[in-house]
Amino acid sequence: MMTRRSLITRGGAFVVTVGVAGCLSDSEDESGGEFQFERVVFSDENPGKYDSYEAVPERTTFVVDDRLWLLVVVRNAPTDDGTASLTYTFRTVTPGGTTWEPVVEREEEWENVEATDRLVVWERFSTYPEDTPGEYETEVTVEDIVGGEQLRTAETFELERGG
pLDDT in tens, 6-33: 333 445 655 554 322 223 323 345 556 8
**pLDDT (tens digit, 9 = 90+) per residue, 67-109?**
999 999 999 999 999 999 999 999 999 999 999 998 999 999 9
Other C-beta atoms within 10 Å of 91: how many?
Answer: 17
The pLDDT score that the predictor gives to residue 12 is 60
Q: What mean pLDDT is reported for the chain? A: 83
- H helices of the chain, in order, are 18-21
Going by C-alpha positions, the residue among 91, 47, 51 that lies closest to residue 70 is: 47
Q: Given pLDDT bands bounded at 50, 70 and 90, which one contains residue 120?
A: very high
- CATH number for the domain whose boundaries are 11-160: 2.60.40.3880
Going by C-alpha positions, the residue among 141, 146, 135, 160 that lies closest to residue 65 is: 160
In the sheet that holds 150-160, the strands lie side by side as 61-63, 150-160, 134-144, 84-93, 104-110
Q: Given pLDDT bands bounded at 50, 70 and 90, which one contains residue 5?
A: very low
Nearest-angstrom CA–CA distance, 35 and 25: 18
37 pLDDT more than 50: yes
